[in-house]
Structure 1
């Protein structure tokens, strides 16, 4: 088979896969989105906060650059790296030394990274009890990351050079888990772990990737598979209850099943 025919065949396969993904455009624009336990939230370039209510995103009170929703609750980070937890209808400030630039509540623990790319977490009991203003966050050793996300049995992160890391043996009472191990064949700018353990990410070129073969017995999975939801590249992704939510390069929102 000639080279041109090979390229055409690969391109055709990609188009067929795109058509099978069944995405719909949701009105509005966002820069970051997160879904968990059937709820979806997001923020836009003006740090405005939105929740998906009914069939549309509704603006709520607050100013955040990152939001997360999951078993650990609803958390957000302000443009000044202040951490907030949504309680009793309001986002209430949580004391974290140095603050966080990104936070994740996709499992029963809470985790995130600060401006120095330190990775921090708090256990389930500490989170459920407040956490109080003086709660001790555990700083993880062995890795500096720009993005960190946890699921039911593992956490994934990426560093400033887009290397992908996996942390095993993470539990509700031991958020530190075991040491970081690098997934050498991966390169992502952000990664998200869903509440069912599914792993998705976006690379620096805007390609959307899914990690195949991920399970409790094999948290690292087997390989990356490219998924296409946006015609001109992807910016952010989250997955929950069978629905893939994607932010495209232009900020538009797609819901895929």
Structure 2
């Protein structure tokens, strides 16, 4: 897998209809199994659980080993192969009490995630992990709502999420459709991937209507297994761990 590769300006672009009316994507050098973007940063892990961050167009290796990484308002968080939770503090990974198989840093200054039993947790600014009733295999938070999918690929939203109330309203609302993973951006955009590798965007999402109105499938020529959005960039990981960057800004 390539490392420390500069994304050359001459990389060929391909026209793609994505979340924007007319946009382009480029195949980014490198190989990742999971990617997360937030707060203007991009982090990812490869099949060997090596960690990388995109710095000035270069994939820079970060010391440590994680199977899942997340970056957002809550900072940089990750989980190891043994489900240990780690938080990047002043350049060093600090182990945080608890066990999770997936963690998300997109909430309003708090992380959230799920463990190997699909139990759901969030970590308030003061105190320890709070268990949220229900079962999810993947959980992602934005600035005013959190979304998740369960083992049957059912989709749920938790509204009323605030910096001081990471559990939100504690009332789950089921959303139509079926997804295997879902991601909420800091600004509230919601994207998901189904078990067939199809990519979807939730339309009509706003702080007044966090659940949005309907799903729109985004036409792609490749099957996707992971998606993340931040700052005008839609990051996609294909089934063969290729990295795609879909953007409406080519400058």
Query: CA-to-partner distance for each residue in 1:19-55, whole Å, 9 max, x for gaps?
Result: 9330011101111100011000000111010001111
Moved more, 56-65 or 81-90: 56-65
User: CA–CA distance in 1 between the matches of 2:173 and 2:161?
Assistant: 13
Structure 2 unmatched runs, 5+: 1-14
Secondary structure at 1:224 match in 2 = strand
Q: For the residues of structure 2 that align with 1:31 and 1:120, how far apart are their CA atoms?
A: 24
- Give structure 1 regions of 4+ aligned residues with deviation exceeding 4 angstroms: none
Decide whether the 8 Å contact of 1:211 with 1:225 is kept in 2: yes
Structure 1 segment 72-221 matched on structure 2, within 5 A:
72-96=74-98, 99-107=99-107, 108-123=109-124, 125-126=125-126, 135-141=127-133, 143-178=134-169, 179-183=171-175, 185-221=176-212
Query: Cα distance, 1:78 vs. partner?
Result: 0.2
Could you list the per-position Cα deviations for residues 89-145 of structure 1 after superposition, in whole angstroms to 9, with x for gaps in the alignment?
A: 11110011xx0000001022210000010000012x22xxxxxxxx4210001x200
| TM-score normalised by the chain length of structure 1 | 0.86
Q: Return the offset for 1:16.
A: 7.0
Q: Using the alignment, how far apart are the partners of 2:83 and 2:43 within structure 1?
A: 18
8 Å contact kept, 1:26–1:56: no
Q: CA separation in 2, counterparts of 1:72 and 1:245?
A: 20
Check conservation: 1:71, 1:106, Cα contact below 8 A. yes
SS of residue paired to 2:222: coil
Which among 59, 66, 69 is matched to residue 68 of structure 2?
A: 66
Residue aligned with 1:63, SS? coil
Tell me which protein shows more helix as a share of its residues.
1
Larger Rg: 1
Query: What is the aligned-residue RMSD (CA, Å)?
Result: 1.4
SS in 2 for 1:33: strand
Cα distance in 2 between the residues matched to 1:50 and 1:137: 27
TM-superposed deviation, 1:60: 1.4
2:16–2:23 contact (8 Å) kept in structure 1: no
1:241 paired with 2:235, answer no
**Which stretch of structure 1 is more off in the superposition, 49-58 or 198-207?**
49-58
Task: Give, in whole Å, the separation in 1 of the partners of 2:89 and 2:219.
Answer: 36
TM-score after normalising by structure 2: 0.88
The offset of 1:228, in angstroms, is 3.2
Instruction: Tell me if the contact between 2:72 and 2:105 (Cα under 8 Å) persists in the aligned partners.
Output: yes
Aligned to 2:25: 23
- CA–CA distance in structure 2, aligned partners of residues 82 and 16 of structure 1: 38
Deviations 1:150-183 (A, max 9, x none): 0011000000000000000011111111211100
